[in-house]
Structure 1
């Protein structure tokens, strides 16, 4: 009897133990945070493809109110007095210097002061860290857009077709060359509608826009120095 009992324990007993079954096998998950999104990736089992799905965080739920575009940015701080004074003084000095150059060039019948240079002053003095204030953007866009305006006028003459074609070509040029400089978009329109500029022909690509920007760059250096060192 003892031998029969030992044989039962060694052979039959292990077979009566059912293997543990997992009806719902759990797999560990990995959570990464990328740009305010939670990305849950289920670790794939062997011989299976990797699967992932995205769950938007609660901060993305709901659109911003429409009126927020009509208010200042909440993250921007109020400007100091020096942040207002020095760019304004730079704009005054720029127009005064360009006006003095106009007096010198008056006998030759040309002028360096044009309206787009006022927009350039706003970009260079008020937002010197913006992409539009980069020297590459400014000079490439100024030269290219001015040349496009002269070319459009020589082919299409004055009128709405020349203006629309020149502006579209100027936009495409700035995007293609990665030199977006908003004030330069007005140069083609200024040339097409400005009778006093037609005698410049393709010299318009260099004067007065690009020549005026050289003067403004020199003043921008002084404005940035004063803003950084003389605060009040």
Structure 2
């Protein structure tokens, strides 16, 4: 039965998952409480947007993900809200507006380097949430989306000062010279191009990871416990 409780993310452990639970509890709790001061007159449901639950999973469970960084959380949610409201105003048929809003939100987030998966739900929320969002208009972008996103991000920054993880994520320990001079940064770029997939990890973290793989492989071959640099220069 133990395998059912093993994390399904590389590098994760039970401690990190428990910390993620605590972080999400505190983050969503504080976001709800503080946002209460900004409740929109068009409806109490606008106190906190449902996509913030998905954003909390990223911020607190995978804080190293490029998709969980402050700009994607705040910028991605905000521009997607703008797109969603604009599409709703221009396209009255929800069955057409819904796919247009999500597709356009992905495009705008990609162009602004703010790709954030929960923001797709923000754009969709603007379409399917009933007349209250339409009545609120672009105020929906600020309240609750903008306010929620800023508070949740600040909670993430504060929480991860004590969690043992950096947030905003910073790649540390890169060595000034490569461990294996035969491997160059351009080799990593070509390998990524070969895969033809978008990976939820930064190029810098991959470079550091491969450096650690080299480090442990050398120790295994030499039977040594001495120190090696912790990464390769990008």
Contact kept in structure 2, 1:158 and 1:192, CA below 8 Å: no
Most deviating of 118-127 and 97-106: 97-106
The match for 2:149 is: 213
Q: Which residue of 1 aligns with 2:20?
A: 87
> Which structure has the bigger radius of gyration?
1
Report the counterpart of residue 82 of structure 2 in structure 1. 147
Aligned residue for 1:207, secondary structure, equals helix
Q: Give yes or no for the alignment of 1:121 onto 2:22.
A: no
Deviation of 1:160 (Å): 0.8
Offset, 1:103: 5.0
Query: If the length of structure 2 is used for normalisation, what is the TM-score?
Result: 0.60
Shift of residue 78, structure 1, vs aligned partner = 4.9
CA contact (8 A) 2:38 2:143 kept: no
What number of residue pairs does the alignment pair up? 156
CA distance in 2, matches of 1:141, 1:106: 22
Runs of at least 5 residues in structure 2 that lack an aligned partner in the other structure: 1-6, 166-234
CA shift, 1:162, in A, is: 0.6
Residue in 2 that maps onto 1:97: 30
Q: Which of 137, 141, 151 is equivalent to 1:201?
A: 137
CA distance in 2, matches of 1:105, 1:139: 17
> C-alpha separation between the residues in 2 aligned to 1:161 and 1:192?
10
What is the CA distance between 1:80 and its match in structure 2?
A: 4.0
Q: Which moved further from structure 2: 122-131 or 109-118?
A: 109-118
Residue 77 to residue 154, structure 1, CA distance change in 2 (3 Å): closer
SS at match of 2:32: helix
- The superposition leaves residues 106-125 of structure 1 with CA deviations (integer Å, 9 ceiling, x where unpaired) of 69334331110001101111
TM-score, scaled to structure 1? 0.60
5+ unaligned residues in a row in structure 1: which ranges? Answer: 1-70
Q: CA RMSD in A?
A: 2.3
TM-superposed deviation, 1:217 = 1.5
- Which gives a bigger RCO, structure 1 or 2 (Cα 8 Å, sep 6+)? 2
- Structure 1 partner of 2:100: 165
